[in-house]
């Protein structure tokens, strides 16, 4: 936030010193500079709103820090030694506010929010084709909401900054807003975005109406549990997820038939596939910081030249049902000069996420980063529907759940199969299936927190895992670079 506020001071210093000189603001990306007066400028600004989420070594989600901050869950862990001290703090619930991995998501989110605020403020006076202006405004509202969704789930209370296009000295001493207020703003932004964006994505890596609805369903579902605990949101989540499922063809979305086809490998590259409801795209180069360093070398064992940043906990791996999806998901060994080396002989003695390794030993890759998949929408619907209706055998919920389960077994997803199909469901069974489907991705920790299952999960850790050194905490400390400058954020 310090850097964000410093940037704001620089941008708006011309206004505060207007008595002394007149500054040319025409090239600055602000709502009153003229740079955002038409579609061309707004389109450039929108690209700038996406970029902070994917700026590899500066900020955002595009490196292994995203795995680090979610290591309180049982599907992620790290090397017990090496240079992974910052990672281990998250896994052991002793995160220091000076942790170097802590600010990445925070900084990227607020930089993106700042750019979104500029766009939203400029839209009413901009010229251009109305449908294009609507799409740009809708995407800016979505991105602002989506970034706040990450912030509120990870930090809880945080600054709610909506008018940063106008410099106000009060921003330098702003207090954190409540969790309830942040969620209310997220819903407001997403509901407005629903009225603006087109049915289909204008380009890969951007959003469509189905994206907005799917994330809104997820927001409602998150609010049913800790810390909001509003059970009335189950029905809203079910209804919104069903809209996406029923209209997926209209939105250009859908489930891929084969689980393996979701992941880049030596034989498959389906980046931009229809299951990617929302994904970050990368150029695969360091120029401008646009390389995906979350996938690739970070997920590869040091025994094969990887970085050992993250891998899977033993209990989660051994509980994971044997079958097709498990085979696609995990690296359990490798061939070394004709000799099979099982993961139990790796330095870490842990299985790794094969599905996230890509097709080369590098962090400079262009593999897309799926943040929302249609499979999540199906499972969110199944959970929300049975919880809203109280019917564990609701046929629509069962079919949504069973599609994902069939595909995980390597079976046709649309063909009922008594050998694998569930005939009734519990909330915990759905969360467990979701854990298998999204192992190593961005779901497990948030579901464990929402249902307050973190302690229960930690208690089941294998004795050989990194063990907690502190009490279980659901929220992260704010980065010290923020609180040192503005202690009001701690109120």
Phi, psi of 261 (to 5 degrees): -75, -5
Q: Which of 134, 143, 163, 167 is nearest to 48 (CA)?
A: 143
Residue 23 confidence (pLDDT) above 60: no
pLDDT score recorded for residue 287:
72
Q: How far is 357 from 177, CA to CA, in rounded Å?
A: 38
Q: Which of 356, 407, 206, 370 is nearest to 276 (CA)?
A: 370
Tell me the two tokens of residue 296. 């690739």
DSSP labels for 356-411? Answer: GSTTSS-S-B---EEEEEHHHHHHHHHHHHHHHH--TT-HHHHHHHHHHHHHHTTS
For 324-344, what is the mean pLDDT? 98
pLDDT score recorded for residue 290:
84
Q: How far is 83 from 308, CA to CA, in rounded Å?
A: 10
pLDDT score recorded for residue 26:
42
For 391-408, what is the mean pLDDT? 98
% of the chain surpassing 70 pLDDT: 93
pLDDT score recorded for residue 245:
98
- Residue 181 has a CB neighbour count (10 Å cut-off) of 13
Sorted by where each begins, the domain ranges of the chain are 2-11+30-197
Residue whose pair of structure tokens reads 């210093």 in the numeric block:
13
Counting every residue, how long is the chain? Answer: 491
pTM of the model: 0.92
Q: Per-residue pLDDT tens for 417-456?
A: 999 999 999 999 999 999 999 999 999 999 999 999 999 9
Q: DSSP class of residue 259?
A: G
Is it true that the peptide bond before 29 is cis, omega within 30 degrees of 0?
Answer: no
Q: What's the pLDDT band for 74 if we cut at 50, 70, 90?
A: very high
**How does the average pLDDT of the chain come out, rounded?**
92
pLDDT score recorded for residue 284:
84
Q: What fold is seen in the domain 2-11+30-197? A: 1.25.40
Q: What's the pLDDT band for 360 if we cut at 50, 70, 90?
A: confident
pLDDT score recorded for residue 490:
84
Residue 209 confidence (pLDDT) above 80: yes
Q: How far is 444 from 105, CA to CA, in rounded Å?
A: 17
Q: Lowest mean pLDDT: which of 121-130, 142-151, 157-166, 323-332?
A: 157-166
Q: What's the pLDDT band for 11 if we cut at 50, 70, 90?
A: very low
Which residue stretches of 92-227 are H helix? 103-122, 130-155, 179-194, 209-223
pLDDT higher at 19 or 400: 400
Q: Cα 356 from chain centroid?
A: 15
CA atoms within 13 A on the CB side of 309: 23
Q: Lowest mean pLDDT: which of 73-82, 176-185, 260-269, 414-423?
A: 260-269
Residue 199 confidence (pLDDT) above 90: yes
């Amino acid at each position: 936030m310090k850097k964000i506020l410093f940037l704001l001071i620089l941008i708006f210093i011309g206004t505060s010193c207007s008595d002394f000189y007149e500054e040319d603001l025409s090239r600055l990306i602000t709502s009153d500079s003229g740079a955002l007066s038409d579609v061309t400028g707004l389109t450039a600004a929108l690209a700038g709103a996406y970029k902070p989420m994917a700026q590899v070594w500066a900020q955002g989600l595009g490196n292994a820090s995203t795995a680090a901050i979610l290591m309180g869950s049982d599907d992620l862990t790290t090397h017990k030694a090496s240079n992974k001290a910052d990672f281990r703090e998250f896994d052991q619930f002793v995160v220091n506010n000076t942790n170097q991995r802590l600010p990445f998501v925070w900084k990227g989110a607020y930089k993106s929010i700042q750019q979104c605020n500029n766009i939203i403020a400029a839209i009413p006076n901009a010229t251009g084709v109305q449908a294009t202006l609507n799409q740009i405004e809708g995407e800016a509202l979505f991105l602002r909401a989506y970034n706040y969704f990450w912030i509120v789930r990870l930090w809880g209370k945080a600054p709610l900054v909506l008018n940063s296009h106008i410099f106000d000295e009060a921003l330098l001493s702003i207090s954190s807003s409540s969790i309830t207020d942040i969620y209310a703003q997220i819903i407001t932004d997403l509901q407005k975005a629903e009225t603006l964006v087109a049915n289909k994505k204008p380009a890969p890596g951007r959003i469509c109406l189905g994206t907005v609805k799917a994330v809104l369903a997820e927001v409602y579902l998150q609010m049913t549990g800790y810390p909001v605990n509003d059970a009335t949101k189950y029905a809203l989540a079910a209804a919104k997820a069903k809209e996406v499922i029923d209209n997926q063809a209209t939105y250009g979305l859908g489930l891929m038939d084969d689980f393996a086809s979701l992941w880049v490998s030596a034989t498959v590259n389906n980046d931009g596939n229809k299951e990617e409801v929302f994904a970050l795209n990368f150029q695969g180069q360091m120029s401008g910081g646009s390389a995906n360093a979350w996938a690739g070398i970070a997920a590869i064992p040091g025994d094969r030249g990887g970085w050992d940043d993250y891998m899977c906990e033993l209990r989660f791996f051994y509980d994971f049902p044997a079958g097709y999806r498990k085979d696609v998901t995990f690296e359990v060994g490798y061939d070394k000069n004709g000799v099979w080396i099982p993961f139990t002989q790796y330095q870490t003695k842990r299985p790794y996420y094969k599905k996230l390794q890509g097709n080369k030993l590098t962090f400079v890759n262009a593999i897309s980063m799926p943040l929302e998949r249609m499979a999540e929408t199906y499972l969110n619907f199944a959970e929300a529907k049975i919880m809203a209706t109280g019917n564990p055998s609701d046929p629509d919920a069962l079919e949504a759940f069973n599609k994902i389960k069939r595909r995980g077994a390597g079976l046709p997803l649309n063909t009922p199969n008594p050998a694998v199909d569930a005939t009734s469901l519990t909330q915990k069974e759905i969360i467990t299936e979701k854990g298998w489907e999204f192992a190593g991705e961005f779901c497990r920790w948030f579901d464990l927190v929402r249902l307050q299952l973190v302690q229960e999960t930690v208690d089941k850790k294998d004795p050989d895992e990194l063990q907690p050194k502190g009490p279980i905490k659901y929220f992260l400390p704010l980065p010290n670079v923020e609180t040192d400058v503005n202690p009001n954020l701690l109120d």
